[in-house]
Amino acid sequence: MAMFGGSGRREAEWVEALERAEGQLRALRAELAEARAENAELKTRLSEQRAELDRAVEKARLAVRKARESAKNSKERAGRYKVRLLKLEEKGSVV
């Protein structure tokens, strides 16, 4: 039985190594849980920022649409005034 004398020490080393590995596993699981929570928070923020950006884009589109419409109306109004001016010039009303 003398040849099995070192097996107790080896078992103790294995148990110690196993306990260290389990401790590392717990630490990694905790780190993973933190990373998942942070990821969820970042996804939420990203979603909020995208919604805000979408609102800003829609607001800008509306402003551009209104500006184009206003420019078109101004151009049409200028055209009407030009026609009136030409008619008045033909009649000799404008000096």
* Whole-number pLDDT of residue 95: 55
- Please tell me which residue, 93 or 30, carries the higher pLDDT value: 30
Residue type, 39: N
Question: What average pLDDT is seen over the chain?
Answer: 92
Alpha helices in the chain (DSSP H): 7-91
The answer to whether the pTM exceeds 0.75 is no
Query: Can you say whether the dihedral through the CA atoms of 40, 43, 47, 49 is positive or negative?
Result: positive
32 close to 40: Cβ distance less than 8 angstroms: no
CB 60 within 8 A of CB 66: no
pLDDT score recorded for residue 91 = 86
